[in-house]
Amino acid sequence: MENQPLITEIQRFSVNDGPGIRTLVFLKGCPMRCSWCHNPETQKTYPEVYWKKRLCVQCGACLEPCPRDAINPPIPIKLAQEEGSSYQKIIRDRCDRCMKCVNACRYDALAVVGKRMSIDEILTEVEKDRPFYDNSGGGLTLSGGEPTMHAEFSTALLAAAKERGLHTCLDTNGFCSWETLEKVVKHADIVLFDLKHMDSAAHEQETGVKNDRILKNLWRLSKTGAEIWVRIPVVPGFNDTLEFHEAAARFLAGLPGKISRVDLLPFHNWCQDKYGWLGIDWKFKETEALEPALLEIPAEVYRKEGLPTTIGGSGFEAAEAMGA
């Protein structure tokens, strides 16, 4: 098997990523660079360092052990933490991620993002909530990043979960070869398939890749009879027009196989702290979260095409998904 990918988080008690109460396993590494990404820490395949300025007391303990002179000297705490401050503890283009600064920090202001876990370690953690899965119809959702970047590991993890009697979902952006996708979905009860834009140029501008492979993979996947929940992150200024939703609805309704439901996921900016912790200037930091009520009209566009549609994607919205 390939080397174990890094895990950024195992998130418990999720109700928006498949049916019932679920545990999400986030793999690190993604071939896309979505400008609005809500999990920027999952994009790169290697460990990174968070600097959480609210926890930093500017003691300077991290300065001496750094072998690359990649730590900025302490400044007054108020200056570092004030709104609009450009101060960063880590000089990212010098950092080689040796993690000596993390080991020196006594206040948890510096933290490693990404750790290796075996399949058994992951599933031992996931199974802690088995009673909740049994009562709600939940289970494991494998997410990222992008699980198909780690196809062998993802396939083995999903297969092992099925052997333990766990319900499984695969959350994918579909940007991979068909052979890879076909292999990984084999052990997924439900595929949560992201659809971001119908126009390839617009898609490439905001994600870094064209969408032709993604659309073709969705077409082929639907033909297999797999249970598919299409998830559309609705992002202001990118895909929030009725024109986009009408084109997407026509495409999904015209697929050779049935789409079980469409989830419209309103943009939010709750992830902006993560960008700050990674020293990244996020282009959407001043963009307000999208009110779910604003997606009622787009939702009707999909429902008129016979596509059960939710706003927010809750696993407990079966009646709403059917347009009731």
**What is the pLDDT at residue 2?**
53
Residue 293: pLDDT band with limits 50, 70, 90: very high
List of residues 6+ apart from 157 with CB closer than 8 A = 25, 119, 122, 123, 142
Within the chain, all domains assigned CATH 3.20.20.70 are found at: 6-44+117-321
Give residue-wise pLDDT tens across range 78-135: 999 998 899 999 999 999 999 999 999 999 999 999 999 999 999 999 999 999 999 9
127 contacts 162 by C-beta, under 8 angstroms: no
The answer for 228, left when phi > 0, alpha when psi is -120 to 50, beta otherwise, is: beta
22 contacts 15 by C-beta, under 8 angstroms: yes
- How confident is the prediction for the chain on average, in pLDDT? 95
Q: Which helix (H) or strand (E) holds 167?
A: strand 167-172
Average pLDDT over residues 23-32: 98
**What is the pLDDT at residue 16?**
94
C-alpha distances in Å from residue 37, one per residue of 41, 80, 279: 9, 26, 15
Show the tokens assigned to 145. Answer: 């990043």
Within the chain, all domains assigned CATH 3.30.70.20 are found at: 48-113
**What is the pLDDT at residue 314?**
80
Could you tell me the CATH superfamily of domain 6-44+117-321?
A: Aldolase class I (3.20.20.70)
Farthest CA pair distance, the chain = 63
Please determine, for residue 1, whether its predicted confidence score (pLDDT) is greater than 90: no
Q: What is the CATH number of domain 48-113?
A: 3.30.70.20
Please determine, for residue 319, whether its predicted confidence score (pLDDT) is greater than 60: no
- 90: DSSP letter: B
Q: What percent of the chain has pLDDT over 70?
A: 96
